Each structure stands twice: as structure tokens, then as C-alpha cells.
Structure 1
Amino acid sequence: MALVGSTVLTGCSTAPVVKVPLEYSIEMADAMMARYDSIVHHMDHLDKRASWQYDYALLAEAIGKLEKYTSNPAYGKYMKDFFDYYVDSLGNIRYYKLEEYNLDKIRPAVPLFSLYERTGDSCYIRALYQEIKQLETHPRTKEGGYWHKKIYPHQMWLDGIFMASPFMAEYAKMFEQPQWFDEAVRQITLIYDRTLDARTGLLYHAWDESKTQRWANPETGQSRHFWSRATGWYMMAIADVLDYLPENHSGRNLLISIYGKVASALLSVQDPDSKLWFQVLDCGGREGNYLEASGSSMFIYSFAKGARKGYLDISYLDVAHEAFDSLVSCLMKPDKANGWIMTQICGGCGLGGKPYREGDYHYYVTEKIVENDPKGVAPFILAGMELHDADLVLKR
């Protein structure tokens, strides 16, 4: 459901949060499962032709992970049913076309690692082989950075790091191919260097090597604004890559350093009233900007995981808890029939293309605002689980 023009500019005062984060993750997952008996049907309901999409795959993955916390096999089955719709017995992936060279089509394969470990079914391995073949020949910048998509030549987007780097890191570990560890690190560090704003420490949404796109700064190639969800994807990517990167890898300390620097920059633009983050990160008081649920959920996940793993100071866990509670109070509303509804999720933002997206401030704040989009719901569910884990490890 689109809610064009729905905005919240400052903090909010609503009922206090009375449950622990994991309970909200479970209730949100239950709400999604109650509405739709499968995520494929959910896509059909939204008039989106079923396809190999990262956002719905991430929602299936998030719901599936709840089986570990609840011992309820229904969550794992819900996830497996989604991926078995796409991956046939020979490992072919429905709707996947390698020759499109689209990083968004790499991310959906990440849960196939765990499905193989759980079932031993070789179809998942064959599907993973298809995905790695794409990355072997995927177009690159002169420095070796992956183009976000073939239709966006010479461009690296922050989003693309989450789409590919965690996959490469897990592939490297499972198949003992360390060159993919190196590649995952290279993509993370390349885009950091190219999108970094030295003044704020924040990262621009994208970078155009050719410096020819209308959205690109003609001198730096950087896009114009700091989009919350793009930075959220990037932070989640680093957190997840570090799960697999060997302790002695030469790039590990650099990734942890970048993680800390971006986290610190995000604290500087956190809304002091709501403790959440705005759609355009550094423009909190500007007309049209709004507190955005998906980016905020991603930062909560990244802060909690960073604190739990020791990449960030333990104080980031307190920041994550406060933000999670505020997100529940401000941006979640009860649905009497099916639990919770997550509001104020940016439907999507890109650059260039047809029709052309200029990437100016007006563009970012006028793209449609939606409810219960998987790009918000999935990170929220993951954030609740991560807060639970962090509390156990750090005995909070």
C-alpha cells in the first residue's frame, strides 16, 4: 500500500514498548505468514510477477532463521518452500539470467548455503555454482569494482555490496576458495574510497567511474545524497562478511575500521528526538524528509551485531535498543486481524535508468512510501534476533 506524502519529521510520543525485541520479530513474522501462505503468493498479491528478488528472499531468510529461536519448524518450512519454488531438482533457478549481470540476483542465493547444509540436497550447490559463474565474468570498473548492473555501466552502488559480498565470503568458506574472501573485501573497500564524504564520514549512494551520468558530480563521480537504506545495506554487508572472513585475513582489520567509522558518522545524524534515522541522512530538518523504517532497522542490526562481535563499542548496543524501541513505538501500528504493520518504508530509490532518476533531494523524499515492504520487514526481524543474541552474549 503506497502512502505517498506521509511524513514524520521529528520524534514521536506513543505507548511504551513492553516486549523484548525477539517477541516483536516473531510477531512480525507471524503476521506476514498469516496474511500469505507463501511469499510467492505475497508477491502475486502485490501485482509483482514472481521473480528471483533479493528483498523477498531476504524476508524468507529472516523468517526461516526464527526456527532456531522458537524450535518451530513452520518458520524453516516457510523459507524452504520459497526457495524450492525457484530452484529445481537440477539446480536451475527460475527467472535467473546470468547474462543480465545484475548484482541484485546474487543476494537471493545466500540462504541456499544453509539449505544445503540442512538437507544435503545437491540442487542447492548447483544453483550456487550458477551464481558464482556470474561473478567470475561480471563487468567491472578499471579498479575492479563490480558494476551494479550491466544496464548501469561503470557504476558502483552501495546496495550492490550487500547483494554480492556476503555471498562471496560464505562461498569462499564453504568451498575453500579464498580468492572470494579477497574479492568480497575488495568490493567493500573500493566503494568506501569512492563514495566517502570526508567532511561528514557518510557515504554517497553511488559512484560513476565515467562521471557522465547527470546524477554524478562531474569531478568526483559521486551521487548527490546520503540515502539511509543504501548505507544500511552497506553496513549489514560488512557485518555479515566478517562472519566468514578468517581472523588472519589481511583485510579484516580494515573492514572493522570502516565499520566503526561509518557507525560513528551515523550517530552524528541520528535524530535526537526519535533516535531513528531520516530517509536523507543529513537533512533531518528539511521539508519533506521523514523517519525511514528500513534504514533504521538496518542500522539497529548493524550496531547490535557490531557490539556483540566486538567490532563496535558496547555502547552501540544501547543505541540499538533505544532505536528499536522507538521504531516499534513510532513506525509500527497494530493490525487487529494480523498483528503488526510496519509503516514509512521507502518503496525504492535508484539512479539514472528510464525514466531517468536525477538523484536530487526532491527525488529521494518523493518516491512512494509503503507499508510492510520486505526491505523493511526483513531487516526488522533480523534486528530483533540480533538484539536478543547480543543481550545474551553481553549479559544485558
Structure 2
Amino acid sequence: MIASAWFGLSVSLGIGLLIGLERERSKGGGAGRRPAGIRTFTLVSLLGAVAVHLGGRIFLALVMVGVMVLTALSYSRDRGDDPGLTTEMGLLVTPLLGGLAMSDASLAAGLGAAVAVIFAVKEALHSFVTRVLTAGEVTDGLIFAVATLIVWPQLPDRYLGPFQALNPHSLWFLVILIMAIGAGGHAAARGLGARFGLPIAGLASGFVSSTATVGAMAGRAKRASANLDAAVAGAMFSTVATFVQIAFLLTAVSRPTLLLLAPALLAGGGFAALYAGGFALRKAGAGGKAEIEPGRAFNIAGALGLAAMIAMMLVGAAALRDWLGEAGVTVGAAVAGFADAHSPTISIASLVASGKMVPAAAVMPILVAVTSNTMSKLVVAASIGSRAFVLRIVPGIVGATVAAWLAVSMTV
């Protein structure tokens, strides 16, 4: 018991020294010197630990009241030119961490280190928030937080609706997944700059809509021929994203179906990646400069639209499966694939997961959806892009689809 008390007191001492060390370096000097430094934070942390050791939570509450009063008096008398409350908040957190060290030393130590890091990276955080992040990116971050932390936990995790085809919890998870992948690609493009920006942007946006990405890249190449190779790479990387996202979706919904489709996904995605990489390296080697327009971290409308399409396809595929059997699912997948390959994939995989279809029967409809989606990409590229863009993109998109079919035919 005595050894445990000494250990907790030692951890509280370390917490106070760690936080106080950073505050001592930041408090300045002269007339504008802030009052709280290494000694104050160390004593406050020890005070919290001793209070818990002597009287438990009641003593700690009394100590917190005293610290709050002294902190408020100090802030009112010596605010200086900085109206911030960071140091004052630190003075309130530190005795709590000191008290926590008496019962959970590891948790208190970790939180103390986190507080010290937050203090230390003040300038970097301020610069990142005010100079690096755009208003749209901040808004997207808030949207993502609401979608993940508030909306998702409230949705029921069971099959509902017509034909018992819809699981709101799973559908919203897909929305979160699409937003997260898009934000990751956006961050990579911002971090790496314009040289590889178009290929990375193409890969990221391909997780939302590869067909739309092909159209956007075709428009870029037509407006600026210097970006032709980078635009082709971006369009092809969006096709890579199609195969990757199908793999992600099948992993989350139906792993048996993923195992059967793995050779096709590897062959199609691998071909597309090699084809895209060739154009990306040509662009980098030529010293060209692809221009990246400022944008949002992700397309919330696109994510919601995809979720809505998935929901409709789930109901439609379930209805066709009920009315026409396996043939109805294939027809529905072909029609839906013209708009997007992801929605028929998730709807068919959901049928497998719910026991309404065996995994082997899902392979053909998913590949049919990929094929019809390939046709949509070709139509979009031909209607928007230049002749040079079309001549470069057609072999890659068609080749990836053919490679997927060949891989399946060789494993059957």
C-alpha cells in the first residue's frame, strides 16, 4: 500500500514537471511574464495527489475549488496582451491528473503527456488551422464528426424495409467509409503538391465515382493539353479505386464472395495500376506541372447519393431476386452498373450475407456490373475528352475489365 502511494505520488510529480517544463519555456519574461511555470504546475499536481491520498474525492474537490479561485484571481489581475485561457485550463487539469495518478498511474501519465504535447504544438496547430486548412475543409471535418459520432451510433443495426433489404447502420458506415477515403486522398494531394496531384486526386475521387472522375479528367486534359498524361493517370487510378473499393466492400459485407472474386480484382486492379503508373511516371519524367484546383476534403453529396443508390439497388436486387431468381439479379446489376459499380456490388454481397444467395452465384452479376460501368466510362471519355485522351484511356479501361474476366475464367 505504501509502495503504491509512493509510486502514484512520483507519477504525479512527473506529470507536474512535464507540463510545467513546457509552460516555463512559454511564459516569457519581463513585465509580461506569465505567473504559472514549472514550480506552480508541479506543486498543483502534487496537491491533487496528496488530496486523494488523504481524503479521496472530497479533498480533491476542495483542492479544485481553491485552485479555481486562485486561477481566476490570477487571470483577472494579469491578463497581459494574451486573452487566452490555455495556461489557466492547464492549471485546472493538472491537479485532476495528479489525483488520477493515485488510482491509475498509466492513464494519468499518458494524459499528462498529451496535455504537454498540446501545449508544445501551439504554434504549429494555430498555423495549420488558420493557414493550411480552408474553410471548406474545416466544414468537412465537422460534417465527418457529426456523421461518425452522432448519426451512425443512432441508426438501427438490423434489416428493415421492403424485402428486408436495408440495414441503416451498414449503409451509413459506407457513407463514412467513402468520406474517410476521399479525405485521405485529398490530404495526400495537399501534402505531396501538384506533381502527383492529379493521379492522387483521381484515385481518391474514384472511390466516390470513377465514371465522374473519368469525365473530370477528360475535361482537364481538354482544357490544358500539358496535363494530358497526368489526367490519363488520374482517370486510370480511379479505375484502380473501383477494384479496391469493391474489395473493401466485400471484406465488410461478404468475405466468401471476396475470396471468389479476389483473382479478378487483383488482375483488373493490377492492370489498371500498371497502366496508370506508366502515365504518371511519364508526366513526372517530363517535368510537367499538373495544376490542382482547391477543393473540399470529400464530396458529401456524392457519398449520400451513392448511399441512396445502394439502398435503391438493395431493394431492386432483392425484388428481382424474389421475382426472377438469379437471372433477375444479373439484369439488375447490369443496369445499375451503368451508373456505378459499387452499388450493385454491395447489394449483391448483402444478399449473400443475408443467406439469400450463395457466394458463387454473386461472381457473375458483380463482373457484369463492372463491365457495364466500363462502358459508361468509355462513353463519358468520348463525349467530354479530346481524341488524344480517348486514345490513351480506352486501352487501359478495357484492358482492366478484360483482365478481370480472364482471371475468373482461369479459376473456374
Return the TM-score normalized by structure 1. 0.23
More helix by share: 2
Return the TM-score normalized by structure 2. 0.22
State the structure with more CA Rg.
2
Higher relative contact order, structure no. (Cα contacts within 8 Å, ≥ 6 residues apart): 1
More strand by share: 1
